[in-house]
Amino acid sequence: MAWNGSILALGLLPLLSEALPSSHRLVPRTWNGNDYACKCYVGDECWPGEGSWAELNSTVGGNLIVHLPPGAPCYETFEGPLGTISTYDAAACADATANFMGEQWTAEQPAALMWTYFTNDTCRPTRNPAGSCTLGYYGVYVIEAQTKEHIKAGVDFARENNLRLVVRNTGHDFIGRSTGWGALVINTHSFQDVEFVDEYTGPGGYTGGAVTIGAGVQGRALLAEAHAQDPPVQVMTGECPTVGVAGGLVQGGGHGPLTPLHGMVADTALSFEVVTASGEILTANSDENPDLFWALKGGGPGAFAVVLSVTLKTFPEQKSAGIIVNINSTLTRDEALFWEGVRSFHKYSNNFVDAGLYVYFELFAMRLHIQPFVGIGKTLAEMQDILKPMFDEFDAQGVPYDTTGKEFDTLWDLYIDLFEDEGAGVSGLTGGWMFSHQDVAENNDEIIEAFKTVISPREDLAYQGGIVGHLWDAGHSTPVSNSATHPRFRNSTDFSIAILPVPVGASWEQKEDLQNVLTNVQDEAMRRAGPNGCAYVNEGDPFQPDWQDHFWGSEYPELLRIKKEWDPEGVFYTVSTPGTEDWEVIEYGTRLCLSLELPSAPIVDVENENTNPISLKMADMEQSTPNLGVMPSDVRSEVKKPKKKKVLLMGKSGSGKSSMRSIIFSNYIARDTRRLGATIDIDLSHVKFLGNLTLNLWDCGGQEAFMENYLSQQRVHVFSNVGVLIYVFDIESRDVDRDMATYVSILSALTQFSPTAKIYVLIHKMDLIMLQAREGVFTERVRLVRQKTMEFIQGSGYTGELDLIPFATSIWDQSLYKAWASIIHDLVPNLSVIESQLESLGILIEAEELLLFERTSFLVVSSWTSNEGHNNPTEDRQERISNILKHFKQSISRFTGTPRNAEQFSLMEHKAGTRFSMFACKFTTNTYLMVILPPGEARFNSAKLNCQIARESFKFLDGPATIPSHQGQQSGVQAS
């Protein structure tokens, strides 16, 4: 019934507004069968009128402009969302054409990006003025802010009108956080103030030199100012000269040539001045708003506030030395020899960072360009001594190379001489991974193989990949950080950026394919080679699995809490930063929306006006107890008061827990689960099941940081009062020993606090195993699990019994339904009553088989089979039927355009001639009933009528109800 889905969507919006005060302006949208509530865009009724924009322009001193892409002057017209305007300007076109690949020119544009992929490249400079120039993924309006009040006005306007807000400084952004389709953009690049002090007097206990810089100050300009001081000083910046220091750099952590000496840029931050999501201008430091201060130091670019200025530590200037090394096709055509040179270089990377060096290198096909090795405070002779083992190995292997070195009086002199400018205007995807000391020491050969994969990820690609690498250890001088950066950066050796070019004009399908190559081929190769590493939020794939853990590790839960406190309405959005799990960009990269069908969202009973999903998610719900009314005493004695259920769903990150839960309980189909993100901490769902059973389902995030927390600080909370543990093993896991160790740790906690819990072990993703080998692989993995379980029992002195039930599962076949049906079957209260009722009905209507399905999941709750029905040779037919019926329901959803949570059919019939007849009908509020019968029209019609009459006897499945007396003596129409 399509209207039911409409009620569901409308019912969620008021609930959202309790959490999001401005959400009365959220725009309902449906995309790929899912429901969303979106930000407001041009063409929506909520889009501000011309008068509102004029008032905003006045408030910001006339600095509000309609944004035109940088290439617009080369076209006769710009076809923008506000209308089509004439734009051709020969002089401006010549300027854009000449400078489009230049970083500084790009930084000075109102909203351009250095890397153009995330603008959609729909208006590049051209020699064909008659071509098409459209907005792409740029914002509609830009505030070129000159004062902090201008920024406040922009934040307030976006919040009050529910607009997507983008904060843009230089556009030096690999992954699209500085742009957004249809957004209001605030440009902070004009904030260029720089003020040095010899002695910092603010809070935090630091009394050395400091510098306060505006949001728009770039790295090279800041270093020039630092060098001009008397005496000259050093300050942390990025390696690239055009990067804005106070914005995304420090908020993402920030690394550069001084990282070996002083840690991340965020480690040197002393104070921020910001505009918050509520429009308040305030200071954040160790005394004032310390939680926000901590989050701004590496917790995510653009996620918590708009930075107006930051105060950073300064350090005395030092002499420096630099060395350049090249191995390339000019020197050798021997590919194997080239890679031996790369292997030797990387083999000594731990030595380099342990000596306090910073190293920048570029690696492409037959080209290793290291420019430079940097030694701050070192002479050239000292540098050559550090590099000598590498050069000796080159010579011994016959690897040809060229090299040059130089000493400098200051780091500034080295920076200007040896660091090269980067290009702009290119289209590409960016990933990356940090390799730790341990990874390099133990897995250097695997890392080199991963590099080969990054450079040549697939033979059919028009463009091959590349790597930009950085050798540094943020823990060399700063082993403990008070910033929000990932703790693993304190044991780092090599942070390597993976690059994958994307052709301009690529189709959406091509882009999806290349994103898959980046995530699941290039980056995956590096992740596997570096199991002790992490990712860097400013230069990493935002669509990688477990981005929360990869970017922040154990710091993420606190960052999420701070995000919810300081920006509860989601005013600030930058992809894959804290708090963005509930947001999604839909409609081919355009609209930013809240998903109303996330697996984490509690199930809403649209028939109960008092249902409050927010309170359901937070409370431990008790099952409702049926009102037994006048039920006969013999039946009443069989009905037990339902007990509170707590089901733990656990397993390592990426094992497939969220996918299976979404398929079973949230009406996903298998292919749609690929867009699901990782579970963050504990995702608590109260799944209403059969009216009188609520599954208290705890989907526990499997990232190491969360697992450690469950087993320590949350041990009692997580493992007390558990009825069922469902532990999921990924059959594809490369680290089985670690998986087993985690499983045993979970057993230890479970037996301590819930010794009677039943344990289900799901060996998952079995579809990845060849069919003929599956049984053997499954048997061997179960044997290993049982062995580890027995070793735990013997080693711990545990005297109880562990009831372990294994299943082989896959989201691509009925095995998932078989496992979950068994789990649910054990949890259903009053099962004997249900079975008795089904048997009576089956005998009455002369059926061969009855299957009772739960409404949402289509799991088989109970069944009855006649003697004739037992002749059916298909053992897993119930699970197959579950799968078929659920897909039938979802097909109707797609055909009718109704949400997948809506009820789309009340009756399905099939008559197979002289073989059999069947029908599936809506039975009670919470169930469907399938009936399989011998052929015959009279029997078929009689059975349908009897099932309608029998509904009254099954009303107890919906919760409080009166079960009729004379149980088992049902009246009905006898088949003739």
Share of the chain above pLDDT 90, in %: 60
Whether 371 shows a pLDDT value over 80: the answer reads yes
Which run of H or E residues covers position 381? helix 380-397
Q: How confident is the model at residue 686 (pLDDT cuts 50, 70, 90)?
A: low
Residue 489 tokens, joined: 């950066």
Between the alpha carbon of residue 816 and those of residues 42, 661, 702, 765, the distances in Å are 44, 10, 20, 10
Tally Cβ neighbours within 10 Å of residue 20: 19
Q: What is the pLDDT of residue 550?
A: 97
Q: How far apart are CA 853 and CA 860, in angstroms?
A: 5
Q: What percent of the chain has pLDDT over 70?
A: 83
Mean pLDDT of the 921-943 span: 85
**Interstrand relation of 647-651 and 724-730 (parallel, antiparallel or unpaired):** parallel
Strands 916-922 and 647-651: unpaired
C-alpha of 648 from chain center: 22
pLDDT of 819-848, one tens digit each?
887 787 777 766 778 888 888 888 888 888
Interval 95-99 mean pLDDT: 96
Structure-model confidence comparison of residues 8 and 881, the more confident one: 881
**Each residue's pLDDT tens digit, 422-447:** 889 999 999 999 999 999 999 999 99
Helix axis angle for 219-227 and 411-418, nearest 10°, is 140
**What b/e string do you get for 519-555 counting C-beta neighbours within 10 Å, with b at 16 or more?**
bebbbbbbbbbbbbbbbbbbbbbbbbbbbbbbbbbbb
**What are the structural domains, with CATH classification, of the chain?**
2-38+559-595 (no CATH), 50-187 (3.30.43.10), 194-316 (3.30.465.10), 320-547 (3.40.462.20), 613-626+643-825 (3.40.50.300), 830-958 (3.30.450.190)
Q: Which amino acid is at 153?
A: A
Q: Across the chain, what does the average pLDDT equal?
A: 85
pLDDT at 965: 38
- Supply 30's token pair: 């449906």
Neighbours of 735 (CB within 10 A): 13
Please determine, for residue 926, whether its predicted confidence score (pLDDT) is greater than 90. Answer: no
Examine the pLDDT at 761 and tell me if it is beyond 70.
Answer: yes
Phi, psi at 484, each rounded to 5°: -90, 10
257 pLDDT higher than 50? yes
Q: Which residues pair with 469 in a beta bridge?
A: 361, 496
Whole-number pLDDT of residue 891 = 60
Average pLDDT value for residue range 603-629: 27
Give the pLDDT of residue 898: 46
Q: Please, which residues bridge with residue 698 across strands?
A: 648, 684
Whether residue 640 is predicted with pLDDT greater than 80 in this model: the reply is: no
Reported confidence tier of residue 938, pLDDT bands at 50, 70, 90:
confident
Instruction: Among 345-359, 739-753, 867-881, name the most confident range.
Output: 345-359
Residues of the chain by 3-state class (helix, strand, coil), percent to 5: 40, 20, 40
95: left (phi over 0), alpha (psi -120 to 50) or beta: alpha
Q: What is the pLDDT of residue 886?
A: 63
Residue 259's pLDDT is what? 98
Beta carbons of 93 and 125 less than 8 angstroms apart: yes
Residue whose C-alpha is closest to residue 486's, from 712, 655, 255, 304? 255
Mention every residue, 6+ apart, whose C-beta is less than 8 A from residue 707: 652, 700, 742, 745
Residue 796: predicted pLDDT: 82
**pLDDT over threshold 90, residue 612:** no
- Which residues make Cβ contacts (< 8 Å) with residue 946, sequence separation at least 6? 841, 844, 845, 972, 973
122-126 contacts, C-beta under 8 A, 24 or more apart:
122/69, 123/69, 123/70, 123/71, 123/72, 123/75, 123/78, 124/71, 124/100, 124/425, 124/504, 125/70, 125/71, 125/74, 125/93, 125/96, 125/97, 125/100, 126/71, 126/74, 126/75
pLDDT for 86: 96
Residues 522-545 pLDDT 10s: 999 999 999 999 999 999 999 999
Output 282 or 4, whichever has higher pLDDT.
Answer: 282
- Region of poorest pLDDT, from 336-340, 500-504, 814-818, 880-884: 880-884
Sequence-distant (≥ 6) Cβ neighbours of residue 615 within 8 angstroms: none
Condensed to tens digits (0 to 9), the pLDDT of residues 166-222 reads 999 999 999 999 999 999 999 999 999 999 999 999 999 999 999 999 999 999 999
- The mean pLDDT of 336-362, rounded to a whole number, is 98
Peptide bond into 21 cis (omega under 30): no
Does 962 have pLDDT greater than 50? Answer: no
Residue 634 has pLDDT above 70, yes or no: no
Position 871 scores a pLDDT of 65
Q: Tell me: cis bond preceding 231? Omega within 30 of 0 counts.
A: yes
Question: Which residue is associated with the tokens 């930084």?
Answer: 107
Reduced to 3 states (helix: H, G, I; strand: E, B; else coil), residue 744 is helix
Which range among 91-100, 238-247, 857-866 shows the weakest confidence by mean pLDDT? Answer: 857-866
Round to whole Å and give the CA distance between 723 and 75.
Answer: 67
